[in-house]
Homo-oligomer: A and B are copies of this chain.
Amino acid sequence: MGLVQFRPLFWGEIRGEAVVFRQEMVLQVFFMFEIAFVLLSGLFSLVVAGSLAYSVWKGDGGNDKIAEVAGFIREGAYGFMRRQYSTILGMVAVMAVALFALFTFLGSGNAAVASVSFVVGAIFSAAAGIISMLIAVHSNSRTAAAAERGLPRALITAFRGGSSAGLILVSLALLGVTFMYLVFGQDPNNTPFIIVGYAFGASFVALFAQLGGGMYTKAADVGADLVGKIEANIPEDDPRNPAVVADLVGDNVGDCAGRGADLFESTAAENIGAMILGVALFPVFGAQGVLFPLVAGSLGLIASLAGIFSVRVSGPENPMESLNRGFWVVSVLSAVFLYFATSWLLGGNVWLFAAGLVGIATAIAFVYITEHYTEHRFRPVRRIVEGSRTGAATNFLSGFALALESTGPTLLVISVSLLAAYRLGVMSGVPSGGLFGTAMATMGMLMSAAYVLAMDMFGPITDNAAGIAQFSGAKKSTRDVLDRLDSVGNTTKALTKGYAIGSASLAAFLLFSAYMSEVSRLTGKAFTVVNIADIDVFVGAALGALLVMLFTSRAIRGVSKTAEFIIAEVRDQFRDKGIMSGKKKPDYAKCVDITTQGALRNMVIPGLLVLIFPIIVGVLLKAEAVAAMLMVGTIVGILFATFLNNAGGAWDNAKKYIEEGYEGGKGSETHKAAVIGDTIGDPFKDTAGPSIHVLIKLLATITLVLAPLFL
């Protein structure tokens, strides 16, 4: 089917009949080869991912106690996911109908393609979240069991679980887009609706997955800690605490499913965005330009595979070092692969290759910036530790100031990368080269997506394993191994968040231009200027910034409100003396249930904000004000997400550092101050921050969908 669509190239380029035929032959062979390469590398990664998952799954599931608690966790996670995704899919159905009606009513495009793409994007995104969670809930107990045989075994088990999920997500994103392309892409008029639909569907689901999961995990965490650790003075993850299972479920549904959907969406949206640009560049690069993003993605998958298998741990080494080394393997391989890909598919345009390198370098820079601000080896976390000596207020203030400061290097890297990629793109001599330069940078950055996801999933898996070990009364050496890995996991989770923001920033220009082209298409006039010196546009810009702040407020409020219910329930159960003495089992399921309901109820308002703001701004102040809202919302979103993620990560690691025995260790006044900072940071880094990543992207796709309303 897909083959048919390359006729335009053949007509566009060649005049004489004889040549035409031969050219077409060559091109079609080329095209088939590329599609085959993408499909094969996607399928190959799936197979590898499957075998990794199988190797984890058939590993030692641990003793009965481990198996029992792992069973509780799985049950809770399945229950939440079932209810969460049925809520989400209900919203998807409503939205699909609304979309169909909107497009039909306004006559602004192919309603069927838009709605079908939306549903497909939503389903793929949901699948990405569910698969991540499924793998995580099976890897946790194996990691806990493996920890009894030492750190290297535990690390490898957790990392294999994470790798399997990461590979599946990125392959799915690649295959999903290829599928949409082969089915609908033959009519170039459809492309806007494919991006509208597919990317909107993916980000729509990702937002609710991240918000709901993020609220679940942090409400349970805060609730369990506040009553258990602080009021009742029992250790973290103690089996007497009725909220502890909900807390352990949270790692899986929040960190795994949420971030999975987030990065799936990034990869998918970027692929589609770049392909649309490729269509515009058809006269220059032909089919190769269109397929380039998919080929680059496949090559990135292969580089990530190599990186994953390069991770080895020798005894005394800091596990972070080996993960970093793997990341360097991926980066170097990506650069090499990118060189060949540009040579073969983009006529060896060195400027475009250089723009791609900018993206790879950006990824590396982000890893180091995030490590600097969140790892206890460096000054910032140490300063928070020093601040904790004089109490919770100074612990907080130093973390707050440092996290704000961390937006500096982050935004400077983004600015320099954007400007460099854009200028290199312009120098390439390709039409719309600046934009294509930023697309190249995004592709370069996202080549390592599967590896980064593997590192990310590693975090919640080890976190969960540590909880299971504590819960099942594992011996101290086992718990120490897992605590050490958990601390590494904290850093890798922070890295991934930085990475997600970085790639969203580089892709931002692509998404802005998608909106602006859509408006141009609808009005028939070139829409190229967003003049914030105009008062309506200025107000639109201000409302974009406001949206991020209100969204953050609501995300955090959602956690507090849900936590309140859990706190009340746990206190209630603690009144039963049998539970506190350990004779009677607490009612874990009830806490799971309360958390589920609270999270699902509270995710609605922040989600609605994202829908309502563009509609109000667009209807009252029109398309240009919406563009400003989108752009300034993106800027403030990037800064806020960075601030929230780094603040939370740094507080968490400051606490962990003290728990390693410094500054008086566990139980000291300094530690108490750090625990408060950590509790504050929880909803920052695991609910509000990551939800803002998705907010940025959803804002871009939603304005694209609703553009016809704003004219």
Contacts and interface: CB of A to CB of B under 8 A. Distances in A.
B393 A434 contact: no
Contact of A632 (B402, B411, B635): B635
Interface in A390-421: 390-394, 396-398, 400-402, 404-405, 407-408, 411, 414-415, 418-419
Given A394-B560, A398-B560, A418-B539, A530 B533 contact: yes
Nearest to A675: B393
A553 B533 CA distance: 28
A411 B532 contact: no
Contact of A531 (B396, B531, B643): B531
Nearest to A390: B226
Nearest to A556: B401
Interface of A: 222, 226, 230, 387, 390-394, 396-398, 400-402, 404-405, 407-408, 411, 414-415, 418-419, 422, 434, 509, 512, 516, 528-533, 535-536, 538-539, 541-543, 545-546, 549-550, 552-554, 556-557, 559-560, 563, 567, 627-628, 631-632, 635-636, 638-639, 643, 676, 679-680, 683
Nearest to A557: B401
B401 A545 contact: no
Contacts of A404: 549-550, 552-553, 556
Contact of A546 (B400, B418, B560, B639): B639
**6 tightest A-B contacts by CB?**
A404-B553, A393-B679, A401-B556, A530-B533, A401-B557, A405-B553
Contacts of A676: 391-393, 396, 676
Given A529-B531, A679-B393, A407 B549 contact: yes
A676 B394 CA distance: 9
Given A394-B560, A396-B676, 16 more contacts: A226-B391, A391-B679, A393-B679, A396-B396, A397-B556, A397-B683, A401-B560, A407-B546, A407-B549, A407-B550, A408-B546, A408-B550, A512-B533, A529-B529, A545-B636, A676-B676
A531 B549 CA distance: 24
Given A422-B535, A532-B631, A538-B631, A546 B397 contact: no
27 contacts: A226-B391, A391-B676, A401-B556, A401-B557, A401-B560, A402-B553, A405-B557, A414-B542, A418-B535, A418-B539, A509-B535, A509-B538, A529-B529, A530-B531, A530-B533, A531-B531, A532-B628, A532-B632, A533-B631, A541-B632, A541-B635, A542-B639, A545-B545, A545-B632, A545-B635, A632-B632, A636-B636
